[in-house]
Amino acid sequence: MNIRKIALAAALAAIPGLVLAAGNAENGKAKAAQVCSACHGPDGNKPSAPDQPILAGQYQDYLLKALSDYKSGKRANPIMKAFADTLSKKDMEDLAAWFSSQKSGLHDQR
């Protein structure tokens, strides 16, 4: 491993709260269809209410952190907490990979 890769790895490890996400988007698609799509739409672009966020196109690390924070209670939302409690770390990684890989329709709604 060259010195630049070692330095980059050390710098990333030193950033508090940084979550490096992995995940399988196709597995996430199947999981999203079972639970998430009712409120966020199958690709994360169709919230069923104005207070539900568009997930499509969000950063993968952000989505993973949000799900982790709902599960831990760090983010307070009883509905999302109940869903997140059923998810494994791998489930969360897969869901984050799926929604982050989708094109956001946010700009199409103007």
The whole-number pLDDT of residue 2 equals 64
User: What per-residue confidence (pLDDT) applies to 47?
Assistant: 85
pLDDT tens digits, residue range 80-93?
Answer: 999 999 999 999 99
Rounded Cα–Cα distance for residues 57 and 89 (Å): 20
Instruction: Please tell me the predicted confidence (pLDDT) of residue 18.
Output: 47
Q: Could you tell me the domains of the chain?
A: 19-105 (1.10.760.10)
pLDDT averages per 10-residue partition of the chain, 110 residues: 60 52 91 93 89 94 98 96 97 98 73
Structural element, H or E, at residue 91: helix 89-100
Residue 25: which residues within 8 A CB-CB, separation 6 or more? 94, 97, 98, 101
